[in-house]
Amino acid sequence: MQSFDQERLDQAVASLRSLLQLGEDPQTLGTRPLEPQPLAGLSFLDIGSGSGLFSLAAIVLGARVVSLDVDADSYQCTLSLKERITSSSSNSASNDASGADPTATAHKKNDIHWDVHHASILDAEAMRSLGQFDIVYSWGVLHHTGQMKTAVAAAAARVSPGGQLAIAIYNDQGGGSRRWLAIKHGYHRLPAFLRPGYVVAVAGFYECKFALARLARGRNPLPFADWQAKKSDRGMSVWHDWVDWIGGLPFEVATPEAIVMPLRQQGFTLDNLRTVGSGWGCNEFVFRLTESTGSPQ
């Protein structure tokens, strides 16, 4: 919450627009303004909402949002952001005058529909109670549940016919993924006060490798451009991204085929796919459930 600002919100909105291909018709891109609220009238489920930033981005784009997170701190953070934006909206006149709160401009003209739940995607009863949604979104979360296949199926079950499922899953690098798992276990074997130093050491090693790779390609070896690109894509600070990479457990990975094929068998078609090739990071998928197919239960 302390690092939230209008820039991060704008970046999250742009990221959602890009992933869901909102207003990106190649025939008109760049020739007409983007629709300000392309998700107006649609329901949006954010699984693993974390800070609540992308839930708020969906609200800015017009959606009715339900956020959930199993982590108590993340739940409280999302709930605090909801209370902040609700307060800002109800007092928009004074906030406009001062320009003090970046959430004040997030959603002035329409009522805010935002529910926040402390729940797990693996809790079948809790998930059924939420109903179905036009868009189910879970970026970089389902592979941290310890039951990734079950979690993906549970997320898919919340998609209404004709709706979309947008997820990001760690890429399976084979041996590289096993090395990352060992690094993560090393992080968790350390006492808490030593973990920041461990992150600095591991991140420093890899940042040096990346710098040499950039230099070999004739690029500026300094990391700042890559850090800015990462922040623009997800609104996440470099430090928190490294902590997630080095310490995030449980940790599961999948090839693109391992995600696509089971969902195809359940009636989903692929709307958008972004892969990292053989590298590290998350492959991003946007599926659509065919109108004639009921959501898997």
Residues 61-113: pLDDT tens digits? Answer: 999 999 999 999 999 999 999 999 888 766 654 545 445 454 544 555 457 99
Mean pLDDT over 247-273 rounds to 96
CA distance readout (Å), 114 to 57, 64, 196, 211:
12, 6, 35, 42
The pLDDT value given to residue 93? 45
User: Other C-beta atoms within 10 Å of 199: how many?
Assistant: 17
Model pTM? Answer: 0.84
Average pLDDT, the chain: 87
Query: What H or E segment, with its residue span, contains residue 68?
Result: strand 64-69
Euclidean distance between CA atoms 198 and 111, whole angstroms = 46
Positive or negative: CA dihedral 37, 38, 42, 44:
negative
- DSSP H helices, the chain, are 6-20, 53-60, 72-90, 92-98, 124-130, 148-156, 175-189, 195-216, 224-234, 238-247, 256-265
Euclidean distance between CA atoms 237 and 231, whole angstroms = 6
The pLDDT value given to residue 294? 59
The per-residue DSSP string of 237-280 comes to -HHHHHHHHHH--S---B-HHHHHHHHHHTTEEEEEEE--TTSS
Q: Which is more confidently placed, 127 or 297? A: 127
Residues 13-51: pLDDT tens digits? Answer: 999 999 999 975 544 444 456 788 999 999 999 999 999
CA distance readout (Å), 188 to 83, 140, 183:
34, 20, 9
Establish whether the linkage from the previous residue to 250 is cis, with ω within 30° of 0: yes
Most confidently modeled of 20-24, 171-175, 278-282? 171-175
Mean pLDDT over 184-210 rounds to 95
Return the structure tokens found at 270.
């692929």
CB burial of 72-106 (b: ≥16 within 10 Å; e: otherwise) equals: eebbebbbebbebbeebbeebeebeeeeebbbbbb
CA distance readout (Å), 175 to 157, 171, 278, 279, 280:
32, 12, 11, 11, 11
SS3 104: helix
Burial class (CB within 10 angstroms; exposed 0-12, middle 13-18, buried 19+) of 189: exposed
